[in-house]
């Protein structure tokens, strides 16, 4: 994190960057989120995200993730505090530097200008899906087939809240689905086969419910079917068209999950994050060179993190995708920008690895106490914040400052490419 002290030099550098960007857009008729723009991203380095201004000195405040241990930014605050506007502004500024952004939008209001959107729901406007049972055949030597599908069953169990016997039946049915797909634990070469789908698993369970040899398990099987059939039958898990990882890693994307039930949102988001992490990890670790373009391949933006982290289970569970990203994402060039109402919505790994915090106005004194402890600010000071982007910023190696986050400028015609 760096704060500009030399106003003249700051303005000159800002003008130069703006002119380079304007020249590129005007002459070549290309825009952020395009592949051509990405090819010229070196012109916009280093990555400098304009946040707003210091309330006391009125100097500009800029987030420089390349100067910190990682690009992890946590934002805390109640509804109306300015979280969403901050996420939109930060996402837009990152895109303008030519680095792609993936937004997982649980409530439908994190619309980053210029970023293309896809809807994940059962409606006719939604045409893409995901397959939670897709496995990583490239890591056969590290993570076995059983470990991978057990992780999927754990996610489903937390999302749908399965009991012990229901989970055991489901795990057996998932294993059978992989066998039916020709994928065997002892033969990693078979992992390249097309994976089964949740529909397959549901069909296996329904067959078992009538099978004479499964009479002793019939009650557990039927109970499991009752619990999972609503989710497993959702169209988003059976569509032939899936999101293209290359598009996300090159141009970024906003995934609108606001029209899906909470359990479906969680399972889809978890699946997408694991697929993205796998795709980035396959590119190998970043080089560690000076350029921010070498260091950052993708930023992931998520509002209302509690939807992912506070399902049944422990927020500190290392198997949770957010905790995995907090410990592993940095070395593969992934930055995280996460927002929620309270710090307790984040596991210890996420909190401990976050280099930058912005704490906005809380809902009540209890939230103020919890959030204030993270950055060393008295809860009374948090309660006095006006909202709408006013908050306390703490970054690695520097003191806490009170800032006012700038809202995005009105969307221009060239930005209105969202849907």
- Where do you find CATH 3.40.50.300 in the chain? 2-127+244-415
Tokens, residue 221? 């099987």
- Where do you find CATH 1.10.8 in the chain? 137-237
Structure confidence at residue 168 as a pLDDT band (50, 70, 90): very high
- Paired residues of 253 in beta bridges: 102
Model confidence at 416: pLDDT above 70: no
Quote the pLDDT of residue 138. Answer: 61
The one-character DSSP state at 137 is: G
Domain 2-127+244-415 has CATH 2.30.36.70: no
Pick the CATH number of 137-237 from 3.40.50, 1.10.1660, 1.20.1630, 1.10.8: 1.10.8
Mean pLDDT for all residues in the chain: 82
- Of the candidates 368, 286, 341, the one whose C-alpha atom is nearest the C-alpha of residue 71 is 286
Q: What is the pTM of this model?
A: 0.82
286-342 residue pLDDT tens: 866 668 778 888 999 998 888 887 655 678 887 788 988 999 888 898 999 999 998
Quote the pLDDT of residue 3. Answer: 45
- Of the candidates 91, 86, 63, 68, the one whose C-alpha atom is nearest the C-alpha of residue 76 is 86
Distance, CA of 208 to CA of 217 (rounded, Å) = 9
Distance, CA of 9 to CA of 70 (rounded, Å) = 26
Quote the pLDDT of residue 244. Answer: 82
Distance, CA of 133 to CA of 115 (rounded, Å) = 28
- Look at the chain and count its residues: 419
Residue 16: how many other CB atoms lie within 10 Å: 10
Model confidence at 418: pLDDT above 60: no
Distance, CA of 55 to CA of 75 (rounded, Å) = 18
Cβ–Cβ under 8 Å, residues 363 and 78: yes
Structure confidence at residue 413 as a pLDDT band (50, 70, 90): very low
- Of the candidates 77, 74, 75, the one whose C-alpha atom is nearest the C-alpha of residue 364 is 77
Quote the pLDDT of residue 156. Answer: 83
- Of the candidates 31, 85, 38, the one whose C-alpha atom is nearest the C-alpha of residue 248 is 38
Distance, CA of 334 to CA of 322 (rounded, Å) = 12
Quote the pLDDT of residue 410. Answer: 56
Phi, psi of 101, deg, nearest 5: -130, 130
Tokens, residue 288? 């560690």
Model confidence at 157: pLDDT above 90: no
Cβ–Cβ under 8 Å, residues 44 and 20: yes
Residues 6 or more apart from 383 whose CB is under 8 A from it? 361, 362, 365, 368
Please write down the HEC assignment for all residues of 11-68. Answer: HHHHHHHHHHHHHHHHHHCCCCCCHHHHHCHHHHCCCCEEEEEECCCCCEEEECHHHC
Who wins on pLDDT, 9 or 418? 9
Phi, psi of 183, deg, nearest 5: -105, 125
């Amino acid at each position: 994190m760096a704060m500009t002290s030399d106003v003249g030099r700051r303005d000159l550098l800002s003008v130069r960057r703006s002119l380079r960007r304007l020249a590129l857009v005007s002459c070549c008729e290309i825009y952020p989120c395009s592949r051509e723009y990405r090819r010229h991203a070196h012109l916009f380095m280093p990555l400098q995200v304009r946040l707003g201004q210091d309330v006391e000195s009125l100097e500009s405040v800029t987030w420089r993730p390349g100067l910190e241990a990682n690009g992890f930014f946590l934002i805390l605050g109640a509804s109306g505090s300015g979280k969403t506007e901050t996420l939109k502004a930060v996402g837009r500024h990152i895109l303008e530097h030519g680095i792609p952004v993936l937004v997982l939008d649980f409530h439908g209001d994190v619309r980053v200008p210029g970023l293309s959107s896809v809807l994940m729901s059962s409606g006719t406007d939604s045409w893409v899906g995901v397959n939670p049972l897709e496995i990583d055949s490239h890591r056969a030597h590290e993570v076995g087939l059983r470990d991978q599908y057990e992780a999927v069953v754990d996610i489903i169990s937390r999302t749908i809240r399965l009991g012990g016997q229901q989970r055991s039946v489901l795990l057996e049915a998932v294993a059978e689905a992989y066998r039916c797909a020709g994928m065997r634990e002892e033969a990693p070469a078979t992992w390249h086969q097309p994976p089964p789908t949740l529909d397959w698993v549901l069909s296996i369970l329904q067959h078992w419910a009538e099978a004479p040899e499964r009479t002793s398990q019939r009650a557990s099987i039927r109970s499991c079917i009752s619990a999972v059939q609503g989710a497993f039958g959702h169209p988003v898990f059976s569509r032939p068209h899936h999101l293209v990882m290359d598009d996300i890693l090159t141009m970024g994307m906003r995934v609108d999950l606001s029209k899906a039930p909470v359990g479906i949102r969680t399972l889809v988001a978890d699946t997408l994050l694991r697929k993205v992490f796998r795709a980035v990890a396959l590119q190998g670790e970043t080089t560690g060179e000076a350029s921010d373009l070498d260091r950052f391949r993708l930023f992931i933006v998520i509002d209302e993190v509690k939807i992912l982290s506070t399902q049944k289970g422990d927020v500190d569970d290392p198997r949770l995708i957010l905790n995995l990203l907090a410990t592993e994402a940095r070395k593969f060039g992934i930055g995280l920008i996460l927002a929620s109402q309270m710090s307790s919505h984040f596991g210890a790994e996420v909190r401990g690895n976050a280099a930058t915090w912005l704490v906005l106005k809380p809902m009540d004194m209890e939230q103020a106490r919890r959030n204030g402890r993270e950055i060393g600010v008295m809860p009374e000071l948090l309660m006095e914040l006006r909202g709408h982007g006013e908050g306390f910023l703490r970054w690695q190696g520097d003191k806490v400052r009170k800032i006012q986050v700038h809202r995005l400028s009105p969307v221009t015609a060239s930005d209105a490419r969202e849907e």
